[in-house]
Amino acid sequence: MKFRVFAFLLFIQAVLGFSQQDSRTEGEWYQGKPIREIVFSGLRNISPSELEALMNPYKGRIFDDNVFWEIQGKLYALEYFERIEPSTHPADASASAVIIQFNVVERPIISRIIFSGNSGIRRAELLEVVSIKVSDIYNQAKIRVDVDAIINKYIEKGYPNATVTVTENRTGESNVTVIFNITERDKITISRIEFLGNTRFTGNVLRGQLSLKAKTLINDGAFQESKLLADRETITRYYNDRGYIDAFVRDVTRTFTTDEKGTNLVLTFMIEEGSEFRFGGITFEGNTIFSTEQLQRLITSKVGDIVNHTRLEMDMQRVADLYFENGYIFNTIMRTPDKNYQTNELTYKITIQEQGRAYIENIIIIGNEKTKLEVILREIPLEPGDVFSKTKIMEAMRNLYNLQYFSVIIPETLQGSAENLMDLIITVEEQMTSDIQFGITFSGTADPDVWPISGVLKWKDRNIGGSGNELGAELNSSIVDTSTFAVNYLHRWAFGLPLSLGVDFSANYAKRLTLMANQNHFFNGDEPFAFPDGFHSFDEYKNNNYTPTREYLMSYEQWYISLGLSTGYRWSTFLGNLSVNGGLRLGVIKNIYDDELFRPFDPALRAENNKLTPKNSYWFAASLDQRDIFYDPSTGYYLYQRMGFYGIFPNEREHYIRSDTKAEVFFTLFNLPVTEDWAFKGVLALHAGLSFVFKQPGRDQNSPIPVEETNRLSVDGMFIGRGWSREYRNKGLVLLDSWIELRIPIIHGILSFDLFFDMAGVETKPGFYFGINDEGNSNFTIENMRFSYGGGIRFTMPQFPIRLSLAKLFKVVDGRIDWQSGAIFGDPSRPELGMDIVMSFVLSY
């Protein structure tokens, strides 16, 4: 790289005279002239438009040496060209402007990639590890990186002595064939792993701790030197955490045998165990800022317990973190172990040399090309002059990751200009924040009467212009029965405060089905004993999941146009991010059906038929969020309360209040590193939700609640109660929703495998929902609940929140489990065996 820069400077120096100029001009006439055009000659494979996009910012600028060096630097950085020859030309007869011309010689295009000598690893696997692709511009630096990647792949597969060389064959003037010549040599396969010197733990127990495995039907037994080094440390740590603090792996012997399949290896770990030690306590010296009692409370290891080395390390780290959290990062903390071999007791003396607090001198952000500096700084709860805090740096990382603007965030601390000052440097790597989606998609609706497939055209930028604000537009239509157009804008920080301001406009059209009361016209539809057409009693209506056959359903059309305004404020507290939000939605709605042919069972739907009527609402919400990553959390909790008031003016058809309460908590149960890039991780997630629909104050409390059937609560089988889509028509006034999940990430940030257990149910009758209703019966009981359990995959990207699961459904009737026969392996005679495929959606908030 240094040679390239040096050669480039020499080249600039050589051509700075611009000898290839119009003969009518003399001297450096181009200096100080505006740049009219930048043109290229010699292009074969590179698109001129790609270079124009790079050069356009320089058109109109005044020519000088610095500008010219900057232009050439950008061209060489593309690594598209083997040679670049510049020249200047007058733009007109008076030479009032300059045209810069670059005569270029392109690097060749890769036409083929060939792997020669590979028999142990397939071509497809090797193509996955190399960065070059067919039609790429040839780049020697990438080739060198790919050689290392191929060697590493062979080492991973058990070929530690593999070598790779590269041959490039030119085919024509602008094409090259890249040939990777591979010499695999013998594959080393582990046939057995043995232990000598182990008396406290069996060989099977110790083998279970290793990343290296002997060859079996499900393991290829590939040997890797790096894994062997790590496994030696793993065995030592296993003993140290069980009291054997002097234990170590003295040596690992290797015995090789060769057959027609390659080289077999027997590994033998030679172990020195030592004696079992117990913990004798910790004493502190030199601490004046924090008392000994404060420090002792951080030690969780108990005197007399068998020594656990990892736990002791965590105890001592908590002592260091206490100082770090309060800005004392320049302290020296020394540990002195004392092993008593007569009593087999381990004690520690910790000597602390206390220094002054550290203060932030500068906060430096590196890598933000699009995102404005103030957008990043406002998410960091530190300013120059503040006391250093590790917790606040971790909070800053969480805030920045939750923006979804960056794929990598790396904080560093460097010594400042004085002894007690330090610079906080945060390096970020930006990712795409805007996207355009178009095509065929699932609409995400839980209504079984709505055609689930729709065409979508969607654009959104979560960081428009690097401002941190969001702008989006969407057109979604199934053509058959639903169409939606929406545009929205969210200003995340207003007036320099964490105050959000949002506005959106939406127009919705839907063709729906609803219950009829043509034959049962004597019911108003809101009586607790009422039943629609298709049934002869309320019990029959209930026993059929409140759903008649298709012939007893009427269709109607609904138009709804609305404008929404919202705002919110966020505080950072020691309990988490506290947010308070509110909004107002103003709109008009029109339901259309032939009232000479149909009479809806729902009285709210009958009101103002074929008339444009107002439909307005306002809402308030509060939340407390301590999750690490909101769209796929591993730790923390989330609490949420929302109150929505529907119907503001007397002439609106609906007047009700809806309350939604949610609580979630997340625990990382285990996080075991398997490779350098992947860990076997398990997250336990718990959710509880409760929603109510009740009357607005001041209205007749003895009359039914004026709310349309479609706006009542239900178990939809998609967002709530996975698999129970058949319950969608069982509309209620209270909804209980809970679930438990064990989440195991497969590809971090993309895919997870989940096991779940869902519980959800509604109560249709008004009254004291969890008490006794007007008929003297208990309202919400276990028979209201719908249960499902199973497992499946979940996409953890916020842009694609879909999960596919296999679910087993059941409910409780008369104190006994009533299994629901599933579509897969279902047998009506044995309903406990069948399961259902469920596609559901994940809501992030």
Summarize pLDDT for 602-648 with one digit per residue, the tens: 887 887 788 889 999 999 999 999 998 888 899 999 999 999 999 99
Closest listed residue to residue 327, CA positions, set 427, 410, 426, 413: 413
Helix (H, G, I), strand (E, B) or coil at 14: helix
pLDDT at 14 over 50: no
Pick left, alpha or beta for residue 376 (phi over 0 → left; psi -120 to 50 → alpha; otherwise beta). Answer: alpha
Count of other CB atoms within 10 angstroms of residue 431:
11
Residues whose CB is less than 8 angstroms from the CB of residue 676 and which lie 6 or more positions away in sequence, other chains included: none
Q: Is residue 757 a part of any domain in this protein? A: yes
End of a domain among 166, 183, 200? 183
Same domain, 788 and 728: yes
Angle of helix 309-325 relative to helix 390-403, nearest 10 degrees, comes to 90
Radius of gyration of the chain (CA): 35
Q: Domain for residue 564, yes or no?
A: no
Q: What size, in residues, is the chain?
A: 845
**pLDDT confidence of residue 443:** 43
Domain of residue 420, residue span: 359-430
Segment 332-358 mean pLDDT: 93
Please tell me the predicted confidence (pLDDT) of residue 559.
92
CB 328 within 8 A of CB 352: no
User: For residue 251, what is the domain's CATH number?
Assistant: 3.10.20.310
In this prediction, residue 799 carries a pLDDT of 61
Same domain, 685 and 633: yes
Asked if 655 and 752 sit in the same domain, the reply is yes
Closest CA to 126 of 208, 182, 168: 182
> Residue written as tokens 């438990």?
740
Strands (E), 286-367: 332-340, 345-353, 359-366
The strand pair at 262-272 and 188-196 is best described as parallel
What confidence tier does 434 reach under pLDDT thresholds 50, 70, 90?
confident
User: Same domain for 154 and 285?
Assistant: no
Domain contains 587 = no
Q: What's the CA gap between 458 and 435, in Å, rounded?
A: 8
Per-residue pLDDT at 18: 41
Residue range 731-737: mean pLDDT, rounded: 91
Q: What is the pLDDT of residues 520-544, one digit of tens each?
A: 888 887 777 889 999 988 888 878 8
Based on the fold, state whether residues 707 and 820 are members of the same structural domain: yes
First to last CA, the chain: 47
Number of helices (H) and strands (E), helices first, in the chain? Answer: 13, 33
The structure's pTM equals 0.60
Structure letter (DSSP) for residue 486: E
**pLDDT(22) > 60:** no
CB-based contact 149:162 (threshold 8 Å)? no
| pLDDT category of residue 545 using cuts at 50, 70 and 90 | confident
**Same domain (yes/no): 130, 175:** yes
Query: What pLDDT, in 10s, does the model give residues 80-114?
Result: 888 899 999 998 888 899 999 999 988 888 999 99
Label residue 450 by pLDDT band (50, 70, 90).
Answer: low
* Least confident piece of the model among 62-76, 198-212, 282-296: 62-76
How many domains are contained in the chain?
A: 6
Q: What is the mean pLDDT of residues 833-839?
A: 87
- Tell me, yes or no, whether 167 and 32 share the same domain: no
Domain end position, chosen among 183, 216, 248 = 183
Q: Considering only CA atoms, which of 461, 355, 357 is closest in space to residue 403?
A: 461
Name residue 470's amino acid.
Answer: E
Question: Helix %, strand %, coil % for the chain, to 5?
Answer: 20, 45, 40
Residues 654 and 707 in one domain: yes
pLDDT of residue 329: 85
Q: What pLDDT does 766 receive?
A: 66
Residues 162 and 241 reside in one and the same domain = no
What is the per-residue pLDDT across 147-189, written as a single tens digit (0 to 9) for each? Answer: 999 998 998 888 888 999 999 888 777 889 999 999 998 889 9
What is the mean pLDDT of the segment spanning 828-843?
82
Q: Are residues 347 and 373 in the same domain?
A: no
DSSP assignment string, 728-753: TT--BSEEEEEEEEEEEEEETTTEEE
747 within a domain of the structure (yes/no): yes
If you ran DSSP here, which 8-state letter would residue 725 be given?
G
Distance CA 392, CA 382 (A): 7
pLDDT above 90 as % of the chain: 48
Residue 347 lies in a domain: yes
Task: Tell me whether residue 282 is in a domain.
Answer: yes
CB burial of residue 516 (10 Å; 0-12, 13-18, 19+):
buried
In Å, how far from its chain's centre is CA 402? 9
Sheet containing strand 262-272, edge to edge, reads 188-196, 262-272, 248-259
Query: Minimum mean pLDDT among 296-305, 576-585, 605-614: which range?
Result: 605-614
Q: Look at residues 395, 413, 430 and tell me which one is the last residue of a structural domain.
A: 430
Q: Which H/E stretch holds residue 377?
A: helix 373-377
How far is 79 from 140, CA to CA, in rounded Å? 10
> Do 322 and 364 fall into the same domain?
no
Q: Are 196 and 270 in contact (CB under 8 A)?
A: yes
How many angstroms separate the CA atoms of 233 and 237, rounded? 6
For residue 470, tell me if it sits in a domain. no
- Please report the sign of the dihedral spanned by the C-alpha atoms of residue 386, residue 391, residue 395, residue 398: positive
Residue 50 belongs to a domain? yes
Q: Are 714 and 762 contacting, i.e. CB atoms less than 8 angstroms apart?
A: yes
pLDDT at 342 over 60: yes
Block residue for tokens 């989940």: 754
Question: Are both 299 and 373 inside the same structural domain?
Answer: no
